[in-house]
Chain A
């Protein structure tokens, strides 16, 4: 059984397009995250939601908009894609009082 799942696994698109990545967790966790990992493997938090409320919003362009319809789902919508958005995007989840974060398999986004 997959704990944290993301779709799609690969996403190839043209500059200027809009795309979405979906994330679901079946662990019953109350907190979910989006991370971006660049080509040098640097992993940086973008957003965090706790019980559908945005609690962390790092310095991320407004083109990125997370949405959490319920505490098991966290989606990421990206408008007007740019070359620099090419990266692997990881969704993760955790339970507030437990320190471990569980990562999804990642979505490799390539912007041409």
Chain B
């Protein structure tokens, strides 16, 4: 079957670093994406890893290990506005762009 596992909730304080893990089991794999969704808003793209290693975009970094079927999103210098749900998503096919989403991790950033 297809499944992506990520923690349901994470709490951290402003200025801290938080890591959201994602393990996946899918029939195909062409890359791991991360999306952010604020309450009442639309998912917005954060990062994408097709190959093993670390991708850095400002305060956010994403890591992938294909041999371990594992990735994580690292958020540094947390700000209150980072409170949102974070979804990992596996691109299952090279054509059509089918994304399989995890259940999402709700991040709460406290002062």
Contact = CB atoms under 8 A, between A and B. Distances in A.
Interface stretch (A14-22, A40-48, A64-72, A75-83): A40-48
Residue in A33, A43, A94, A103 whose Cβ sees the most chain B Cβ within 10 Å: A43
B97 interface: yes
B43 A90 contact: yes
A45 B43 CA distance: 13
Contact of A99 (B43, B48, B87, B96): B48
Given A31-B97, A48-B97, A105-B42, A99 B31 contact: yes
A90 B101 CA distance: 14
A34 B50 CA distance: 24
Interface of B: 31, 33, 37, 41-45, 48, 50, 85, 87, 91, 95-101, 103-104
A96 B97 contact: yes
Given A50-B95, A90-B42, A103-B44, 7 more contacts: A31-B97, A45-B100, A56-B96, A94-B97, A99-B31, A99-B91, A101-B45
Contact of B101 (A43, A55, A56): A43
A100 B31 CA distance: 11
Contact of B87 (A43, A45, A50, A96): A43
24 contacts: A31-B97, A33-B97, A41-B37, A41-B85, A41-B103, A43-B104, A45-B99, A45-B100, A48-B96, A48-B98, A50-B96, A56-B96, A56-B98, A90-B42, A94-B97, A99-B33, A100-B33, A100-B45, A100-B48, A101-B33, A101-B97, A103-B42, A105-B41, A106-B42
Interface residues on A, range: 20 to 34
Contacts of A96: 95, 97
Residue in A90, A94, A100 whose Cβ sees the most chain B Cβ within 10 Å: A100
A96 B30 CA distance: 13
Contacts of A100: 33, 45, 48
A109 to B, nearest CB: 15
Given A31-B96, A50-B96, A55-B95, A42 B42 contact: no
A94 B33 CA distance: 14
